[in-house]
Amino acid sequence: MPLTYTIDAEFGPARRGHMQLPHAVVETPVFMPVGTAGSVKAVPQDVLESLGAQIILGNTYHLYLRPGHELIRRMRGLHRFISWPRAMLTDSGGFQVFSLNELRKVTADGVEFRSHLDGSSHLFTPERSVEIQIALGADIVMVFDECTEYPADHGRARKSLEITLAWAVRSKAYFDAHKHEVPWAADLPGRTQSLFGIVQGGMYADLRRESAERLVELDLPGYAIGGLSVGEPRHLTREVIESTLPHLPKAKPRYVMGVGYPEEIVEYAGMGVDMMDCVLPTRAARHGLLFTSEGRLNIRNRRFAEDQGPADPECGCMVCRRYTRAYLRHLTAAQEPLSMVLNTIHNLAYYLDLMKAVRDAIAIGTLPSLLARVRAVSREAAGDNTTVL
């Protein structure tokens, strides 16, 4: 049995719900920290648990190359390999090989690419991607898709969409034939992974609609909107999400891949998105960019050198309870490894607490004021000349 999804409260198009997955129940809307190579960078798993991370991502491309999916299969799956008892999702590798640019070649069969580690040649097909994802054993797995580049004209976006649809059919066929091979099959009898479809179609509403409608015919347990965060302006991201959501089944979880800034994730949740992921809070942390209730702080800034306040006076995370901005500024300026650890913990606390506030706001009907608050500090932050990653 794949996931079951239940709506618990609604506020306009937004919904609060929960997904029953093989390893855990996940409350939605949910933000999923990215753990590219089997680790949310610099953060131990017990800290992720204490921060309230419900589900984390793994990257098929990275884990296939190192340590290899066959090794992880022998270790009885990614959950056990990295000691993560809660839910996981793996992407299909489509976005990563798309990002390789010079190192890849797309054919009807799949994508040939060279490893960024050693230059070796590899082929990902829909079947291969799903085979790897079954070996990894995440609770949610993704169809292999072609992430359409931006900009792409209507003809190119249609062609790319057709590839993705054909690959979704092949992904599903392989998944249905092999899903019982997941390494934890015997430990969680009756449970299976859930294969999600991915809507493509560039920035064209008609193609997005067609992509969604044809994917829905496959009756998958959840749907993602892909091909965003590829360089388009933010208003286009929102328009694509807005025009696509009505064509996805209300009774199934809806996932927007690769977003976003705090004000974006609150807004998209308000539009009816249930799941989001982004490297932003973790990557920004490693560059010294902190998200706070007062806006974004570039903690390297000289003005924090003697600031004895916490990173965020409204945050109760272990970093804000113990350390000052002055200390975080010193650690970051001195490139101490602890700066990665502490900055990342705080940013994840901010994102995960914000998403909890979104769930509560949907239940009690206060989402507009929450969004207004987050937008207000975001505008102030925009005047702060912080690094945008």
Binding site for a copy of itself (CB under 8 A): 37-39, 41-46, 66-67, 71, 74-75, 81-83, 286, 305-306, 308, 318, 322-324, 326-327, 330-331, 333-334, 336-338, 340-342
Catalytic residue among 139, 145, 274, 277: 277
Distance CA 366, CA 198 (A): 31
- Looking only at the bridges linking them, the beta strands covering 289-292 and 295-298 are antiparallel
According to DSSP, residue 112 is labeled: E
CB of residue 36 to a copy of itself, shortest distance in Å: 9
CB of residue 63 to a copy of itself, shortest distance in Å: 9
By C-beta, is 184 or 268 nearer to a copy of itself? 184
Distance CA 210, CA 42 (A): 41
By C-beta, is 106 or 333 nearer to a copy of itself? 333
Write out the E strands in 281-366.
289-292, 295-298
CB of residue 329 to a copy of itself, shortest distance in Å: 8
Beta carbons of 293 and 315 less than 8 angstroms apart: yes
The DSSP H or E segment spanning 188 is none
Distance CA 30, CA 269 (A): 9
Question: Which 3 state secondary structure label does DSSP give 167?
Answer: helix
CB of residue 60 to a copy of itself, shortest distance in Å: 15
By C-beta, is 158 or 286 nearer to a copy of itself? 286
What contacts 230, CB < 8 A, 6 or more positions away? 147, 148, 149, 150
By C-beta, is 182 or 341 nearer to a copy of itself? 341
Measured CA distances, 335 to 43, 304, 317, 387 (Å): 17, 16, 22, 17
DSSP-assigned states of every residue in 44-67? -HHHHHHHT--EEEE-HHHHHHTT
What contacts 272, CB < 8 A, 6 or more positions away? 13, 14, 15, 245, 254
By C-beta, is 82 or 275 nearer to a copy of itself? 82
CB of residue 68 to a copy of itself, shortest distance in Å: 9
CB of residue 318 to a copy of itself, shortest distance in Å: 7
- 118 part of the active site: no
- 187 part of the active site: no
By C-beta, is 32 or 230 nearer to a copy of itself? 32
Catalytic residues: 91, 277
